[in-house]
């Protein structure tokens, strides 16, 4: 689960990580009061969306004077923000953070994640923080400092001070850094976080170390034990289809291609997507209907795929292990009866009761192409979908 910058910063403050003064608003009429309360003459208006790269997408606007703040609010509120990290549609903006403009001296990067290779919680830090950290990581990886925390020990003040030294932070700034990093580590370990980032972590002309941005991703599997975190969820920032799918225990992820896939088992779904690509197509989604799926779930999955705008063909690939193929065939027919069929569909069934399932589909009045062989099924759907215009 993701949360907004303002929510991450509120957690930061509870764990001794300093942040600039800021006020959250959801209408332009609150802007002038917020500026007065914050004081100063320069403010930054920041769109609250679940994506990074907001600065590059025009979602972080530096304003001189209240009028500029109000113009920025009018421009952002109610619109969608497209950033290098969102899809082409972007994410809706309904909240803005008004923050005092800071006298930035340095922009650092600080984050924590679990490094799968070393199997340790790992601190990532860099002197080259800011909006191009991805470029730094790709082109000059030696500029990223990595420190793996001993799983049997803890992150110590000594460890933090040694990282501070590598970042050229001295005196009080090194101390502030150590406090901030310990705070991040405590949040990471006590809240079941999978990624926590401050980018940029700035030093100011006033010798302060402040988290100017905040990103926290929580492990969904552990959310049940964090009621306080669950409350922070904002479903307006999530994919509607993916949410609807998960309510029906379907594992669904929208993609950019044109061939809708319905498969049981994540591994088989991946293989099916690869095969579609191999034969010149591109998948419109990843969809795992689960091992012990039901006819109802298949019907729901079918509905979800059919309503995706870019889909030009559907490939169903089911291996009947626990589930019986004749039940799947019934589910498909039920779904077509309910939502109609306006796209080419190829169904490949294999395993328990596959012949009975294929027979049901062949005998139905709908135009369903059945295949027993997966390669043939992939070739067929790529060919059929090419004839469909949207």
Question: Footprint of Mg ion on this chain (CB under 5 A)?
Answer: 199, 213
Contact 364, 333 (CB under 8 A): yes
**Region near ligand ADP per CB under 6 A, out of 27-35, 102-110, 118-126, 259-267:** 102-110
Across the chain, how many H-helices and E-strands are there?
13, 18
Q: Which does 44 bind (CB under 5 to 8 A by kind): Mg ion, ligand ADP, none?
A: ligand ADP
Q: Which does 102 bind (CB under 5 to 8 A by kind): Mg ion, ligand ADP, none?
A: ligand ADP
50 lines the binding site for ligand ADP (CB under 6 A): no
Can you spell out the DSSP letters for 357-388?
HHHHHHHSSS-EEEESSHHHHHHHHHHHHHT-
Residue 137, classified by CB atoms within 10 Å of its CB into exposed (0-12), middle (13-18) or buried (19+), is: middle
290 lines the binding site for ligand ADP (CB under 6 A): no
In the complex, least distance from residue 18 CB atom to ligand ADP, rounded to whole angstroms: 13
DSSP assignment letter at 47: E
d(CA 91, CA 57): 11
Q: Are strands 120-126 and 345-351 parallel, antiparallel or unpaired?
A: unpaired
Q: Which is nearer to ligand ADP, 104 or 364 (CB)?
A: 104
Q: Which is nearer to ligand ADP, 1 or 23 (CB)?
A: 23
Catalytic residue list contains 5: no
52 lines the binding site for ligand ADP (CB under 6 A): yes
- CA atoms within a 13 Å half-sphere pointing along the CA-CB vector of 103: 7
Q: Comparing C-alpha atoms, which of 45, 42, 79, 78 is closest to residue 60? A: 45
197 lines the binding site for ligand ADP (CB under 6 A): no
54 lines the binding site for ligand ADP (CB under 6 A): yes
Helix (H, G, I), strand (E, B) or coil at 297: helix
In the complex, least distance from residue 44 CB atom to ligand ADP, rounded to whole angstroms: 4
Question: What's the full length of the chain, in residues?
Answer: 390
Q: Which is nearer to Mg ion, 55 or 148 (CB)?
A: 55
63 lines the binding site for ligand ADP (CB under 6 A): no
Which helix H or strand E contains 261, and what residues bound it? strand 259-263
From the list 197, 252, 350, 371, the catalytic residue is 197
195 lines the binding site for ligand ADP (CB under 6 A): no
Catalytic residue list contains 197: yes
In the complex, least distance from residue 215 CB atom to Mg ion, rounded to whole angstroms: 7
130 lines the binding site for ligand ADP (CB under 6 A): yes
Please list every residue from 207 through 236 that binds ligand ADP, using CB under 6 A. 212-213
From the list 5, 6, 107, 109, the catalytic residue is 109
d(CA 326, CA 349): 9
Residue 174 token pair: 């090194």
Question: For the chain, how big is the Rg over CA atoms in Å?
Answer: 26
In the complex, least distance from residue 86 CB atom to ligand ADP, rounded to whole angstroms: 11
Q: Which does 20 bind (CB under 5 to 8 A by kind): ligand ADP, Mg ion, none?
A: ligand ADP
99 lines the binding site for ligand ADP (CB under 6 A): yes
344 lines the binding site for ligand ADP (CB under 6 A): no
Going along 116-220, which residue ranges are E strands?
120-126, 144-148, 193-204, 209-211, 215-218
d(CA 96, CA 165): 35
DSSP assignment letter at 223: G
d(CA 31, CA 29): 6
161 lines the binding site for ligand ADP (CB under 6 A): no
20 lines the binding site for ligand ADP (CB under 6 A): yes
Q: Which does 2 bind (CB under 5 to 8 A by kind): Mg ion, ligand ADP, none?
A: none
In the complex, least distance from residue 200 CB atom to Mg ion, rounded to whole angstroms: 6
Q: Which residues are tagged catalytic?
A: 109, 197
């Amino acid at each position: 689960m993701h949360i907004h910058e303002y929510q991450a910063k509120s957690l930061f403050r509870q764990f001794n990580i300093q942040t600039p003064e800021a006020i959250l608003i959801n209408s332009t009429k609150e802007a002038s009061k917020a500026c007065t309360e914050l004081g100063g003459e320069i403010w930054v208006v920041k769109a609250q969306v679940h994506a990074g790269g907001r600065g590059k997408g025009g979602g972080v606007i530096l304003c001189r004077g209240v009028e500029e703040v109000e113009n920025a609010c009018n421009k952002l509120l109610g619109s969608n923000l497209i950033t290098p990290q969102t899809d082409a549609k972007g994410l809706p903006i309904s909240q803005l953070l008004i923050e005092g403009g800071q006298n930035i001296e340095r922009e650092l990067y600080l984050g924590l994640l679990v490094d799968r290779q070393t199997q340790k919680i790992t601190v990532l830090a860099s002197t080259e923080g800011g909006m191009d950290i991805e470029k730094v990581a790709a082109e000059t990886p030696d500029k990223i400092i990595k420190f793996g925390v001993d799983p049997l020990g803890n992150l110590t003040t000594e460890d933090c001070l040694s990282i501070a030294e590598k970042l050229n932070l001295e005196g009080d700034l090194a101390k502030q850094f150590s406090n901030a990093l310990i705070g991040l580590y405590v949040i990471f370990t006590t809240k079941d976080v999978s990624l926590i980032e401050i980018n940029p972590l700035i030093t100011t002309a006033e010798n302060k170390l402040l988290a100017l941005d905040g990103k926290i991703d929580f492990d969904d599997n552990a959310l049940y034990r964090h009621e306080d975190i669950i409350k922070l969820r904002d479903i307006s920032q999530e994919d509607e289809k993916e949410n609807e799918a998960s309510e029906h225990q379907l594992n669904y992820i929208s993609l950019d291609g044109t061939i809708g896939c319905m498969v049981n088992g994540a591994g088989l779904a991946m293989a099916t997507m690869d095969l579609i690509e191999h034969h010149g197509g591109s998948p419109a989604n990843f969809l795992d209907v689960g091992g012990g799926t039901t006819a109802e779930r298949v019907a729901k999955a079918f509905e979800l795929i059919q309503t995706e705008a870019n889909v030009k063909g559907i490939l169903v690939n089911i291996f009947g292990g626990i589930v019986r193929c004749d039940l799947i065939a019934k589910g498909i027919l039920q779904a077509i009866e309910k939502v109609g069929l306006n796209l080419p569909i190829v169904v490949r069934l294999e395993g328990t009761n596959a012949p009975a399932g294929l027979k049901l589909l062949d005998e139905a009045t709908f135009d369903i192409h059945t295949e027993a062989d997966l390669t043939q099924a992939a070739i067929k759907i790529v060919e059929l979908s090419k004839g469909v215009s949207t």
